[in-house]
Amino acid sequence: MTPRIWHPFTQLRDFEPLGRVVGATGAWLHLADGRRVLDGISSWWVNIHGHSHPKIVAAITAQAAAFDQVILADFEHAPAIELTRRLVERLPGDLNHVFYSDNGSTAVEVAIKLAWQFQLQRGEHRPRLVAFEGAYHGDTLGAMRVGARDLFTAPFEGLLGPTTRLPWDDADAAEAFFATHGHEVCAFIVEPLLQGVAGMRVGRPDQLARIDAAVHKAGALLIADEVATGFGRTGTFWACEQAGIVPDLLAMSKGITGGTLPLGATACREELFRAFLGPDKRSAFLHGHSYCGNPITAAAALASLDLFEEERTLDRVAAISARYAAHAPAFAALPGVRGVRWLGGVFAFDLAGGPGGYLDPIGRRLQAAALQHGLYVRPLGDVAYLMPPFCVTEAELDQALHTLAACTQQVVTASPPAAV
C-alpha cells in the first residue's frame, strides 16, 4: 500500500494535487515544476504579511532556540504573557482575558463552552444556542452544531445538538426573535460583517449593532467568530469595530500568527471571567489543549502584530480595497457575473447560469483556468473570490484581477463540461 495524505475537504478517488509546493515567498507559491502562482486565497485566509516573512521567521527561530512547548496549566512564560497584553491592547472594550487553543474551530468550541458554563454558574436556564443561517464556525462537533446543516455536516447529524437559526444580517428578525425568546438564549454566535464559507456574504455594520443590542437587552451573550475576519481582513483590525460593538466572547485564529503557525485564541470580558472564580475546581473552566499558549506560535503572533505597525498593514488593506473598487465595474459588466462585492481585503462575485451552490462545477473550471495563468483561487462552488496576502503589490493585484476577469469570461461563455 502506498502511504497517502488524506487531503482536507477532498474526494480522493481521482484526485491529483494541483502541484507540489517547494517554496513560498511574499504572495507567491513556488511549485516543483518551476511554475509560480499567486496565492489568491492567502492559503485558506491565513496569510497576511506574505509567506516566510523574515521577521516572523526570525522570531520563530529565536523562540525555538530559547525554549519550545511548555505546559501552560502550572507555568507562565513571556511570549504568552506579552501576546495576551498585546491582543488585549487591540481588543475592544473589556475583552481582557485570553484562552489559547490551536485553531479556529477550537477557539469557537472554547467560546461556546465558556458561554454555556457562564450561564449555568450564574444560575440562568438558557438552553438555546442561536446562529445565522449559512453560518460556518469550524469542523469540530460544537462548531458544527452552530454551523449550517449542509453536505458537510449531514453524516454527523446524530452527533449534533439543536441550534436556532436566524436570517443573515437581518436585525428586524433578530429583534423580533429576542423580544420573545431572548430569555431562553445562552449565546448568539455571529461571523461579523462577512459570512465567509457561506459565499462571502457581506453584512452591514448597522444591522450588527442592532443585533448586538437585542442580544444584550435579553441578557444573552454575543460570540463574535472573528476567525476569518480578524487581523485586518475586513479593513479594520476586527470586523466588530465597524459596528462599534463589544462582544462577550471573541474567537480568533487564521491571521493571528500572520499565517505561519496554527494558533487559536478566545477572548472574554471581565464579568464572564469573574464567574469562573471560586473556592475549588468545580467553578473553573476545566478545558485545555496540550499546546495551549505554545511559545513559538506566540512569538510568531507577536512578530505579526509588530508588522501591523511597522508595515502599516491596515493601510495596505485599504489600498487593496481601492483596487477592488476600480476593477469592480469590469467584473459587473461580464456576462454571467452577479453580485460583485468587496470588503477590506476580500473581493467576491457569483457565477450565474449553472446549478448554483457548493457543488456547481463552474468554480473548479475557473480554478483550472486561473491556475494556467499563474493565479491560485478556490471558488466556493458558484462563488468566486480573491483574498490575497496584504503584502500583494498593486501591480500583482491588478494582474490577478485581470486574470480572474479573463478566466471568468472564458468559463462563463464555454459550454458546461460534465459535472465533477
Does residue number 182 form part of the binding site for ligand PLP (CB under 6 A)? no
Residue indicated by cell numbers 505554545: 294
Instruction: Find the shortest distance in angstroms from Cβ 108 to ligand PLP.
Output: 5
Residue indicated by cell numbers 484562552: 99
Does residue number 228 form part of the binding site for ligand PLP (CB under 6 A)? yes
Instruction: Find the shortest distance in angstroms from Cβ 353 to ligand PLP.
Output: 27
Does residue number 191 form part of the binding site for ligand PLP (CB under 6 A)? yes
Q: What is the DSSP string of 301-339?
A: HHHHHHHHHHTTHHHHHHHHHHHHHHHHHHHHTSTTEEE
Q: What is the DSSP string of 343-403?
A: ETTEEEEEE-SS--STT-THHHHHHHHHHHTTEE---BTTEEEE---TT--HHHHHHHHHH
Instruction: Find the shortest distance in angstroms from Cβ 391 to ligand PLP.
Output: 21
Instruction: Find the shortest distance in angstroms from Cβ 298 to ligand PLP.
Output: 17
Does residue number 256 form part of the binding site for ligand PLP (CB under 6 A)? no
Does residue number 225 form part of the binding site for ligand PLP (CB under 6 A)? yes
Does residue number 207 form part of the binding site for ligand PLP (CB under 6 A)? no
Q: Which amino acid is located at 263 in the chain?
A: L
Q: From the list 42, 47, 253, 266, which residue makes contact with ligand PLP (rule: CB under 6 A)? A: 253
Site mask for ligand PLP (CB under 6 A), range 126-145, x = bound: ----------xxx-------
**Residue 193 · residue 243 · CB < 8 Å:** yes
User: Total binding residues for ligand PLP by CB under 6 A?
Assistant: 14
Does residue number 227 form part of the binding site for ligand PLP (CB under 6 A)? yes
Cα 316 from Cα 324, distance rounded (Å):
13
Question: For residue 269, what are the β-bridge partners?
Answer: 95
Does residue number 103 form part of the binding site for ligand PLP (CB under 6 A)? yes
SS3 content of the chain, % helix, strand, coil (to 5): 40, 20, 40
Instruction: Tell me which stretch binds ligand PLP (CB under 6 A): 53-61, 224-232, 299-307, 327-335.
Output: 224-232
Q: Are strands 346-351 and 337-343 parallel, antiparallel or unpaired?
A: antiparallel
What's the alpha-carbon Rg for the chain, to the nearest Å? 22
Cα 156 from Cα 351, distance rounded (Å):
30
Instruction: Find the shortest distance in angstroms from Cβ 312 to ligand PLP.
Output: 26
Instruction: Tell me which stretch binds ligand PLP (CB under 6 A): 103-111, 174-182, 277-285, 386-394.
Output: 103-111
Q: From the list 31, 83, 108, 317, which residue makes contact with ligand PLP (rule: CB under 6 A)? A: 108
Instruction: Find the shortest distance in angstroms from Cβ 297 to ligand PLP.
Output: 13
Task: Give the binding site for ligand PLP (CB under 6 A).
Answer: 103-105, 108, 136-138, 191, 196-197, 225, 227-228, 253
